Amino acid sequence: MLRLRKAIPGVDPKLLIKDAAKLMPDPARRLFLRGAASVGALTLLTGCDIVDGPSAERALRVVSRFNDRAQAWLFNPDKLAPEYSESEIKRPFPFNGYYPEDEAPEVDGADFKLEVGGLIENKEPWTLEQLYALPQVSQITRLVCVEGWSAIGSWQGVRLSEFLKRLGADTRAQYVWFQCAEGYSNTIDMATALHPQTQLTLRFDNQILPRKYGFPMRCRMPTKLGFKNPKYVIGMHVTNKDLGGYWEDRGYNWHSGL
C-alpha cells in the first residue's frame, strides 16, 4: 500500500516486525478482553458475557473513539507541557519497549535515509547529515508511560512543524504517520504534529540519540503518552487516512493525549 513497506536500508531484517505476544493476554485470541471477567460482583450483576464478550469489546471501542474526540477537543495547541531543570533529569533514563534492550533495532546511520511521503511537495529522502543541519530546539520534559510511571528527559532536535514546512506538507491533512525500523508504527493528529514542543529528536541529553532511546530519530511529543512517541523512525507520511499504530491496534486509546 505504501512505498515505505519495502526493504529498509540499514536495518537488520531479523529485527523487523517483532511480535508482542509476550505482553498480550493470549495471542491466539482475537478479542483482547477475554479472560477479563474476574470481578465477581460484576459477573453476578450483569452475566459474564457482557463483561468479556464481543459486545463489551465493541462498546468499549466506541467509548474509546468518543474519548479520542473528547481529548482532541480538550487539546489546546498553545498549551506547553511543563519544562524542568537539568538537575531533574532521570539518570539513567529508562529504556522501554516490547522487546529487551539488546534486541532494539540497530540502524546504520551512514546508510540511513528518512523516507517522506503522502501529502507533501518534496519527497526526497533525508540523510542524517541533512537533518543535523536543520535548526535545533531543546526540551526537558516529562515522558509519561501508559503503564503509569514517568521520567524527565532531555531531548534535542528539529521542530516537527518546521520540518513539515520544509517538506511543503499540506497541514490541513488530518494525520502524520510514522514508520519505525522494527515494524512499529504510529499515527498522530495534525494538531499535535504542529504543537511547538513536538520534535523530531536527534539527540538525548545533548548526545547523539543512543540506540536504546531510538537512534537515529525519535518523534518526541510531551503532549502524548510515551508509546505515541515513536523511536527508530525511518519514514513519515502526511495523510488523511488513519493508519493506526502498533499499540493502538491492540487496544490502547488512539489519541492518548496528556
Partner 1 sequence: MVRYIALRTLFKDVQFGVMASIDTAPASERTHLVIHPIWVRITHWINALAMVVMIGSGWEIYNASPLFDFTFSKSITLGGWLAGALLWHFAAMWVLAVNGVVYLILGLVTGRFRRKLWPIRRNELAADFKAALTFKLSHADLSVYNSVQRLLYLGVILAGVVIVLSGLAIWKPVQLQELTALFGGYEAARYVHFFAMAAIVGFLVVHVLLAIIVPRSLRAMLTGR
Asked if 54 touches partner 1 (CB under 8 A), the answer is no
Residue 51 class from Cβ within 10 Å (0-12 exposed, 13-18 middle, 19+ buried)? middle
Contact, 145 vs 31, CB < 8 A?
A: no
3-state secondary structure of 238: strand
Asked if 21 touches partner 1 (CB under 8 A), the answer is no
Q: What are phi and psi of 180, to 5 degrees?
A: -115, 160
Contact, 69 vs 134, CB < 8 A?
A: no
- Among the listed ranges 7-15, 70-78, 116-124, 161-169, the one in contact with partner 1 (CB under 8 A) is 70-78
Strands 113-118 and 233-239: parallel
Residue 213: CB minimum distance to partner 1, A: 19
Q: Which of residues 218-237 bind partner 1 (CB under 8 A)?
A: 222-223
- The whole-angstrom separation of Cα 100 and Cα 256 is 24
Q: Which of residues 77-106 bind partner 1 (CB under 8 A)?
A: 79-82
Contact, 239 vs 174, CB < 8 A?
A: yes
Q: Which of residues 134-163 bind partner 1 (CB under 8 A)?
A: 142, 144-150
Asked if 69 touches partner 1 (CB under 8 A), the answer is no
- Among the listed ranges 31-39, 119-127, 198-206, 229-237, the one in contact with partner 1 (CB under 8 A) is 31-39
- The whole-angstrom separation of Cα 246 and Cα 20 is 9
Asked if 2 touches partner 1 (CB under 8 A), the answer is no
Residue 71: CB minimum distance to partner 1, A: 8
> Considering Cα of 94, then 98, then 99, then 104, what sign does the dihedral take?
negative
How many residues of this chain bind partner 1 (CB under 8 A)? 45
Residue 132: CB minimum distance to partner 1, A: 28
Which residues are at the interface with partner 1 (CB under 8 A)?
A: 23-25, 32-36, 38-39, 41-42, 45, 51-52, 59-61, 63-64, 67, 74-76, 79-82, 142, 144-150, 222-223, 247, 250-253, 257-258
